Amino acid sequence: MLSSALRTSLRRAATTQTSTPVRALTTWAQIEMGPPDAILGITEAFKRDGDARKMNLGVGAYRTDEGKPYVLGAVRKAEEALLAKRLDKEYLPITGLAKFTGAAAELAYGADSAALGRVAITQTISGTGALRVGGAFLQRFYKAQQTVYLPTPSWGNHAAVFRDCGLKVASYRYYDAATRGLNLGAMLDDLRALPRGSIVLLHACAHNPTGVDPTPAQWQQIQSVVEEREHLAFFDMAYQGFASGDADRDAAALRAFVAAGKTPVVLSQSFAKNMGLYGERVGTFSIVGVDAAERDRLLSQIKILVRPLYSNPPINGARIAAEVLNNAPLRTEWLGEVKQMADRIIGMRTALRSRLEELGSAHSWNHITDQIGMFCYTGLKPEQVDRLAKDFHIYLTRDGRVSVAGITTANVNYLAESIHSVTKN
Catalytic residues: 155, 236, 273
Contacts by 91-95 with C-beta closer than 8 Å and gap 24+?
A: 91/311, 91/312, 92/123, 92/312, 92/313, 92/314, 92/315, 92/318, 93/312, 94/122, 94/303, 94/306, 94/307, 94/311, 94/312, 95/121, 95/122, 95/123, 95/299, 95/302, 95/303, 95/306
**Measured between alpha carbons, how far is 389 from 273 in angstroms, rounded to an integer?**
26
Q: Report how far residue 162's alpha carbon sits from residue 149's, in angstroms, rounded to the nearest whole number.
A: 10
Q: Cβ atoms within 10 A of the Cβ of 7, count?
A: 11
Strand-pair category, 401-403 with 375-377: antiparallel
Q: For 315, which DSSP code?
A: S
Contacts of 244 (CB under 8 A, 6+ apart): 205, 250, 342, 372
Spell out the residues 6+ positions from residue 125 whose beta carbon is closer than 8 angstroms to its own: 281, 283, 310, 313, 314
CA dihedral 286, 288, 292, 295 (to 10 degrees): -50
Task: Give dist(CA 280, CA 136) in Å, integer.
Answer: 23
Q: Please state, in angstroms and rounded to a whole number, the distance separating the CA atoms of residues 155 and 171.
A: 12
- How many other CB atoms are there within 10 angstroms of residue 373's CB atom? 28
**DSSP summary character for residue 52:** T
Query: Residues, the chain, total?
Result: 425
- CA angle in degrees (0–180, nearest 5) for 401-406-408: 130
Beta bridge partners of 147: 168
